[in-house]
């Protein structure tokens, strides 16, 4: 109960308890879903490329 990890959970609980604005999520339409997934795919490719560049000596 006195660990830093417990502090993280207590802070999370405080934030959840203090939260007053709720929103109901809506589904993405097919175009929005493609755009969203494409954006994530681009980010993942860039992360992989950066990792590969870091592994290969220049």
Calculated CA dihedral for residues 25, 26, 29, 35, nearest 10 degrees: -20
Residue ranges covered by each domain of the chain = 4-55
**Geometric angle at alpha carbon 9, from 6 and 10, rounded to 5°:** 85
pTM: 0.41
- Helix or strand holding residue 43 (H, E): helix 30-55
pLDDT of residue 32: 95
Q: 58 falls in which pLDDT band (50, 70, 90)?
A: low
At 8-49, the pLDDT tens digits run: 999 999 999 999 988 899 999 999 999 999 899 889 999 999
Return d(Cα 54, Cα 49) in angstroms, integer.
Answer: 9
């Amino acid at each position: 109960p006195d660990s830093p990890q417990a502090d993280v959970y207590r802070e999370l609980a405080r934030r959840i308890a203090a939260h007053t604005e709720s929103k109901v999520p809506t589904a993405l339409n097919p175009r929005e879903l493609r755009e969203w997934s494409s954006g994530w795919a681009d980010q993942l490719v860039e992360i992989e490329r950066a990792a590969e560049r870091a592994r290969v000596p220049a």
